[in-house]
Structure 1
Amino acid sequence: MMMILSPRQWLLLLPPFFLSTLLFSYLYTILWLRPERLRQKLRSQGVKGPKPSFLFGNIPEMRRIQKLATPYQEEGAGPTDRFSSNYVAILFPYFLHWTRVYGSIYLYATGSIQTLHVIDPDMVKELASCKSLDLGKPSYLQKEHGALLGTGILTANGDLWVHQRKVIAPEFFMDKVKGMVNLMMDAALSMLNSWEEKVESEGGRAEILVDEFLRNFSADVISRASFGSSFVEGKEIFYKIRQLQKAMAKRSMLIGVPGSRYLPTKSNREIWNLGSCIRSLILNIAKKHGQDSATTPNKFFLHSIIEGSKSASFSSCTPEDFIVDNCKNIYFAGHETTSSTAAWCLMLLAAHPEWQDRARVEVLDVCHGEALDFDKLRKLKTLTMVIQETLRLYPPASFVTREALKDLNLGGIDIPKGTNIRVSIMLAHRDPSAWGADCDKFDPGRFAGGIARACKPHHMYMPFGVGPRTCAGQNLAMVEVKVVLSLLLSRFEFALSPSYDHRPVFRLTVEPGSGVPLILRKL
């Protein structure tokens, strides 16, 4: 029997019906229609790529390819070549697969995010030379990594980023870094003295898992140089940021799936709690610094951030956000990436004793048993080549990421507003056409004539990014790694422990999955 509804009952039913229709139309536009229009504009120009699914884009295919991934081994590779083999085949096999199928420029989707994947040298060059603020950082970085990065210098765009760069970049100019060498030495010597005690207590030979020591060393340098505090004072912040980094890496595949960051999953709840805790800890240090600044003659990086927050007038960023987000950016970028680079350097030197010996001879010859200073560090050419080659094989940033904030043209391609652009640094650094047939092998000698002779074109080497948004702290990172390596080489011989498991993992940076255990022997 059919129910007959009165006009009033029909009126009560209409609002939910219209609301559901509007909601469906909105979701259809956001999740499919708008991305499809963008894809069509790029397809019409010959840009190809894997076919996306509704809602999830190419995530299902990425997961399928990931499951099929097997370790890459060069045919005829020697016993140490596995330490520099192409780990991209394990961590990001879908990028390798799609590059082989679609070429050096292709389009793929993660949820509603449409990304132009690029390793074409000409487009990389144009990307590097583009100074327009219309080419900015992807909006998803603030949305998906907000707890870790917020709207700091690593993610901000437009006038806010320009202001942040003016405040932060001068703190890492080489003239400033020169004055940090002594505090780097103090932090490194404290670490090495503890290693020396362990070696002596175990009869002149000991196994040490170096990763946590290197993180603490790097954290100590950042704390003293930037915030005027010791690592002990900032220890909890570094620990929480490390935990937050791991938690965010777990959900990296879901970036772009609408609403995923709002779901009360175990991982999301952990991220929310850590983000709130880190914010409170940083604001407490900033408050203490503000109280002490009147009686403290030295003005640290934190002072510049606090002053910068006062002169910033941006609706998208409160003074507290300015302080917290930029401190988090420096804590993360300045601490995690440097310690990871140092760990990879030690692993490669341990795996290649001939280069370890060459670097040690140079250090002993330059220093003559005297204390390190900036001028001596500049003379360490072999050690510089070792670090450059390590940065090539294990770059601290895996990708250069940008977003077209307005319609623009790059490399002859009209790129619609909202398109993300991703350059795989790892693939560019292992491109045989730029680096030669031995691109997967550890050979610091390729940098003997400088970067320009190491690869052609030279802009395919980009360990610290490209263009106006190149890492502001690269001078600090290079000097810091030089200090710790030169001091270690002058005190110890080291080899990889038999327990070392070569398993690079991606935790927003590529790092040794099981750490780097070394067998140390005092010289």
Structure 2
Amino acid sequence: MEEYYIFKLLAISSALLLLYPLITVVHAIWWRPKRIEKQLRQQGIRGTSYKLFHGDIREIKKCTGEAWSKPMTLDHRISPRALPFFHEMLQKYGKLSVFWNGTRPRLMVGDPELMRLILADKNGHLVKMPLNPLTSMLQLGLSILEGEPWAKHRKLITPAFHLEKLKRMVPAFETSCFGLIDRWKKLISPQGSSEIDVAPELQNLASDVIARTAFGSSFEEGKMIFELLKELTKLVHESFQKIYIPGFRFIPTNKNKRRYNIVKEINAILRDMIRKKEEAMRINGDSGNDDLLGLLLQCKEESDTDNNNGLTIEDVIEECKFFYFAGQETTATLLTWTLIVLSMHPDWQQKARDEVLHICAKRTPDFEAINQFKIVPTILYEVLRLYPPLTSLYGHTHQKTNIGGLSIPAGVDLALPMLLLHNDPNYWGEDVEKFNPERFSKGISKATKDQIAFYPFGWGPRICIGQNFAMVEAKMALTMILQHFSFQLSPSYAHAPCTIITLKPQYGAPIILHRI
């Protein structure tokens, strides 16, 4: 009889072992999504219904494909094209709605007060949205850290962006801008004109600025990193639109192999740059903290000395990659859309030029001159409103969270479509779709009716650490371009904003430049 019970127990245990994987899968792809959907519905949150396994991924891909299939009219109502699925969700379900990224619920939040509460989270309930191993390749440095490691890294890196540091970087900005101006002048005869796609030109400019100010090298020395990051961006965006099957990254497909080879190549280049920098610091006997790489290496040496678990060599490499990508991409995108928009609005182009010539004449602007501008910064802010480099920000609840009276279950992605908020007439007025820099004439806090609804660099403790760097660089570049050229859209320009990590002109930015 005892043997019978032992046999029965073993049989039940074996059955449970066989059923456990099945139960786990069913829980992940059905019970859990449906339970979260019910909890959100009970709070009045509308949206799409969960579809087994793929969620809304097919609909998102179809919606995006249709929106990007042809250019739009030459205006600033870009949300239906740049964020087509989010725009559609807003029209159907309002500013708070849920849709599905595979089996994961994604809560779209379009209310500025809720956005502010989410971005200002200090209790650690909200974290970066987890990505699969292929799409996470561009989440680098500070962008992937949480909690104490993030706080420590942020504290170590922040001094590189202090006002005094930025002042000392202005000559490097000038050198890079002079290179751009000279290159364009060679393409245009005196009093002549030439058509140039300014998008890659301004990417090269931003790349050169980053290379000089952060790593003390010229663009040519860092060119390979930028080209590799550009290729990796395309591969990451492609994988972002597909359902990820666990373990797929280990399958040696051509694209998988290329993704990992790119990362290896970038790491090898940066290791060599770090080796050269460390050698120069040792030979010259200086601290090396005049650029970001030197500052990071100084932090590493200090942490090695007092054993406080500070920066490792791998940390330095990741921070370098993050600054390379984020610093170059954000400013290049802002400047590209600024030239496009000022080509569409020649009256504002002339107002900006008049201000620049009044303050600087043909002299190269210094830090003090840049701070005297009134019109130029309002133009840049208005471009950031209409064409923010990052059209959306994302978060994730790793535990049950209460935000503004909403109870959000653990495991929910949060999508904050900044572009939709920047185009909401409830906050910006009936002229929301018009280019009107004057709305920022009294500062950002008074640009909207009742509350701040302007988050191009994020908000709260994780606000972009390099925003002042980006704005000084953009002001310097725009000023020098206005001093030497007037510009207009080429007849070949097609207005087609699209979101590929950042907001890009799908068919480039061909502009006709005139020497003045």
One-letter code of the match for 1:511?
K
CA distance in 2 between partners of 1:34 and 1:441 (Å): 44
Aligned to 2:226: 238
Alpha carbons 1:72, 1:87 under 8 Å: kept: no
Alpha carbons 2:81, 2:496 under 8 Å: kept: no
CA distance in 2 between partners of 1:260 and 1:48 (Å): 33
1:47 to partner: Cα distance:
1.8
One-letter code of the match for 1:51?
S
One-letter code of the match for 2:108?
H
Aligned to 2:268: 280
Q: Deviations over 1:223-265 (max 9, x none)?
A: 1111122111111111101111111112222266655555544
**Residue 412 (structure 1) aligned with residue 405 (structure 2):** yes
1:468 to 458, 461, 478: 461
Aligned to 2:211: 223
Distance change in 2, residues 1:318/1:197 (3 Å): closer
Please give the residue correspondences for 1:30-45 in structure 2 after superposition, counting only pairs within 5 Å. Answer: 30-45=28-43
Distance change in 2, residues 1:506/1:125 (3 Å): closer
Q: Percent identity?
A: 32
**Residue 134 (structure 1) aligned with residue 125 (structure 2):** yes
SS at the partner of 1:180?
Answer: helix
Alpha carbons 1:363, 1:486 under 8 Å: kept: yes
1:280 to partner: Cα distance:
1.7
1:421 to partner: Cα distance:
1.2
1:23 to partner: Cα distance:
2.8
Distance change in 2, residues 1:449/1:17 (3 Å): same
SS at the partner of 1:287?
Answer: helix
CA distance in 2 between partners of 1:20 and 1:281 (Å): 49
SS at the partner of 2:142?
Answer: coil
Aligned to 1:497: 490
TM-score when normalising by structure 2: 0.90
One-letter code of the match for 1:56?
H
Segments of 5+ residues of structure 1 without an aligned counterpart are 1-12, 74-80
Distance change in 2, residues 1:68/1:212 (3 Å): closer
Please give the residue correspondences for 1:294-305 in structure 2 after superposition, counting only pairs within 5 Å. Answer: 294-296=282-284, 297=286, 298-299=288-289, 300-305=291-296
Aligned to 1:518: 511
CA RMSD of aligned residues (A): 2.8
1:66 to partner: Cα distance:
3.5
Aligned to 1:8: none
**Residue 161 (structure 1) aligned with residue 154 (structure 2):** no
Aligned to 2:198: 210
Alpha carbons 2:135, 2:240 under 8 Å: kept: no
CA distance in 1 between partners of 2:198 and 2:62 (Å): 35
One-letter code of the match for 2:129?
P
Alpha carbons 2:134, 2:239 under 8 Å: kept: no
CA distance in 1 between partners of 2:425 and 2:245 (Å): 35
Of stretches 125-134 and 513-522 in structure 1, the one that deviates more from structure 2 is 125-134
Distance change in 2, residues 1:405/1:306 (3 Å): farther
Q: Deviations over 1:104-155 (max 9, x none)?
A: 1111110132211101122123224332222221122x744332224x1112
Please give the residue correspondences for 1:94-493 in structure 2 after superposition, counting only pairs within 5 Å. Answer: 94-140=85-131, 143-150=133-140, 152-200=141-189, 204-254=192-242, 258-259=246-247, 261-262=249-250, 264-296=252-284, 297=286, 298-299=288-289, 300-309=291-300, 311=303, 319-493=312-486
Distance change in 2, residues 1:15/1:211 (3 Å): farther
1:71 to partner: Cα distance:
8.6
Distance change in 2, residues 1:322/1:83 (3 Å): farther
Of stretches 482-491 and 226-235 in structure 1, the one that deviates more from structure 2 is 226-235
Structure 1 segments (4+ residues) deviating >6 Å = 13-19, 70-73, 312-315
CA distance in 2 between partners of 1:522 and 1:85 (Å): 28
Aligned to 1:27: 25
Of stretches 189-198 and 41-50 in structure 1, the one that deviates more from structure 2 is 41-50
2:56 to 55, 58, 61: 58
1:157 to partner: Cα distance:
1.0
Segments of 5+ residues of structure 2 without an aligned counterpart are 1-10
CA distance in 1 between partners of 2:42 and 2:308 (Å): 39
Distance change in 2, residues 1:173/1:46 (3 Å): same
Alpha carbons 1:224, 1:230 under 8 Å: kept: yes
One-letter code of the match for 1:35?
P
Aligned to 1:6: none
1:269 to partner: Cα distance:
3.1
One-letter code of the match for 1:124?
M
Distance change in 2, residues 1:444/1:318 (3 Å): closer
One-letter code of the match for 1:123?
L
CA distance in 2 between partners of 1:243 and 1:420 (Å): 27
Alpha carbons 1:121, 1:460 under 8 Å: kept: yes
Aligned to 1:5: none
Q: Deviations over 1:248-305 (max 9, x none)?
A: 1122222666555555444433322212221222122112212222234342211232
CA distance in 2 between partners of 1:82 and 1:381 (Å): 30
SS at the partner of 2:282?
Answer: coil
CA distance in 1 between partners of 2:238 and 2:418 (Å): 21
1:431 to partner: Cα distance:
0.7
One-letter code of the match for 1:228?
G
1:513 to partner: Cα distance:
1.5
Alpha carbons 2:68, 2:496 under 8 Å: kept: no
One-letter code of the match for 1:188?
C
Aligned to 2:77: 86
1:32 to partner: Cα distance:
2.6
One-letter code of the match for 1:301?
L
Distance change in 2, residues 1:244/1:314 (3 Å): farther
One-letter code of the match for 1:193?
D
Alpha carbons 1:401, 1:423 under 8 Å: kept: yes
Alpha carbons 2:33, 2:50 under 8 Å: kept: no
SS at the partner of 2:143?
Answer: coil
1:222 to partner: Cα distance:
0.8
